[in-house]
Amino acid sequence: MNIYDIATIDGDGIGPEVCQSAQTVLREACASRLRFTPWPGGAAHYAKTGSVLPDETFAACRAAHAILHGAAGLPGITYPDGTEVGNDLHLQLRFKLDLFANVRPIRLYQGVQSPLSGWSAGQIDYVIVRENTEGLYASRGAGVNLRGEVVTDTLVVTRKGVERVARFAFELARRRNGAPRDGQRRVTVCDKANILRSYAFFRAVCDEVAQEYADVAMDYAYADAITVHMLKKPDFYDVIVAENMFGDIISDLGAGTVGGLGIAASAELGEAHGLFQGAHGSAPDIAGQDIASPLATILSGALMLRWLGERHADAALTQAAARVERAVESVLAAAQHVPHDLGGHARCSEITRAVCQELR
């Protein structure tokens, strides 16, 4: 029976408490199948040592079956160029491990009130697949700064980069049950092909890949227009694929329509590695007070179990993933332990216990 090595990086702010919470739930779900090993990294570590991602941490992440992360970043801890140190932890892992698909489920759970009126649980259920290794982020740390007068970053779109993220999106659509509105398996390409050649190229390569998926409907939405559609017809969407920067922006908007970043899970996947973390930040203002919501990281842990289960044909893990998701759904539906970000007063530890109780 496989034992899976999971490298964990607690990180900064609420990172340690939400990462520990997720491990408690995952142990409850999988008993001894997961071996968690903590590794240092993040802004506070940088402040102490000068390294945001130590070599031994990176080596452990590369060797592990999966990576579970809390959060990273602290205000005021920046590089000389002004960019935040904490974010560099994520970005180094993304680029060095080539985690090209950033998978961000957007789902309205029973018991959670959407700020969009008239939508109930199950009617908003789509996944944003954000290209995670190029686009406008390819320029990070490589932009031009001329005499402090002209500073530029270049948007990079490669054929390989688009092919693989588009194929990932179509394969994901094939595994889902289609959009809530009509049950149609659908991939929506989010771009600005009407304006920029790079996005026209992004769309053209997605179109080429779409030829292989006659069973999945193709849909297009400009990045500005989709922000309106995500509010007015969220049930239309099944899978949305977008360039890195657009994906970063619309995934926060999507999370906002289903309760916020406190419930926003993410799976950052490459050919050989997976990084699982809540899509939220380190929220240093509430760190250490046991009031952060662990749900985003717990749901990211469920995504990790599902990913490991599929990769290793390990049905027990796939089943455990479903049980964790159902336990979270039950806790939310019961509304006895509502996190602060969803309008309640439940403590992180209480929510963790409630999810474990549901698992039992």
- Binding footprint of ligand IPM on the chain (CB under 6 A): 87, 90-91, 248, 279
Q: Are strands 217-222 and 186-191 parallel, antiparallel or unpaired?
A: parallel
Q: Does 84 engage in binding with Mn ion (CB under 5 A)?
A: no
Rounded CA-CA distance 25/30 in Å is: 9
Which of ligand IPM, Mn ion, none interacts with 90 (beta carbon under 5 to 8 A by kind)? ligand IPM
Nearer to ligand IPM, 180 or 260 (CB): 260
CB of 247 to ligand IPM, least distance (A): 8
Task: Determine whether 142 is exposed, middle or buried from the number of CB atoms within 10 Å of its CB (0-12, 13-18, 19+).
Answer: exposed
Task: Determine whether 176 is exposed, middle or buried from the number of CB atoms within 10 Å of its CB (0-12, 13-18, 19+).
Answer: middle
6 phi and psi, to 5 degrees?
Answer: -115, 120
Which of Mn ion, ligand IPM, none interacts with 184 (beta carbon under 5 to 8 A by kind)? none
Tokens 């455990």 identify what position? 320
CB of 353 to ligand IPM, least distance (A): 28
Nearer to Mn ion, 250 or 324 (CB): 250
Cβ–Cβ < 8 Å for 102, 268: yes
Residues acting as catalytic residues: 137, 192, 224, 248, 252
**Which listed residue (88, 125, 248, 325) binds Mn ion by CB under 5 A?**
248
Nearer to Mn ion, 90 or 164 (CB): 90
Which of ligand IPM, Mn ion, none interacts with 139 (beta carbon under 5 to 8 A by kind)? none
Closest CA to 237 of 156, 116, 98, 64: 116
Longest dimension (CA), the chain: 62
Nearer to ligand IPM, 91 or 354 (CB): 91
Which of ligand IPM, Mn ion, none interacts with 125 (beta carbon under 5 to 8 A by kind)? none
Nearer to ligand IPM, 87 or 158 (CB): 87
CB of 144 to ligand IPM, least distance (A): 20
Task: Determine whether 32 is exposed, middle or buried from the number of CB atoms within 10 Å of its CB (0-12, 13-18, 19+).
Answer: exposed
Tokens 């009617």 identify what position? 123
Residue nearest to Mn ion (CB): 248
Which of ligand IPM, Mn ion, none interacts with 28 (beta carbon under 5 to 8 A by kind)? none
Nearer to ligand IPM, 135 or 339 (CB): 135
Nearer to ligand IPM, 51 or 184 (CB): 51
Q: Site mask, Mn ion, residues 199-238, x = CB under 5 A?
A: ----------------------------------------
> Interface with Mn ion by CB under 5 A: which range of 67-75, 91-99, 240-248, 343-351?
240-248
Which of Mn ion, ligand IPM, none interacts with 91 (beta carbon under 5 to 8 A by kind)? ligand IPM
Residue nearest to ligand IPM (CB): 87
> Interface with Mn ion by CB under 5 A: which range of 242-250, 297-305, 312-320, 350-358?
242-250
Closest CA to 102 of 112, 91, 113: 91
Residue 280 Cα to chain centre, angstroms: 9
CB of 244 to ligand IPM, least distance (A): 7
> Which chain residues interact with Mn ion by CB under 5 A?
248
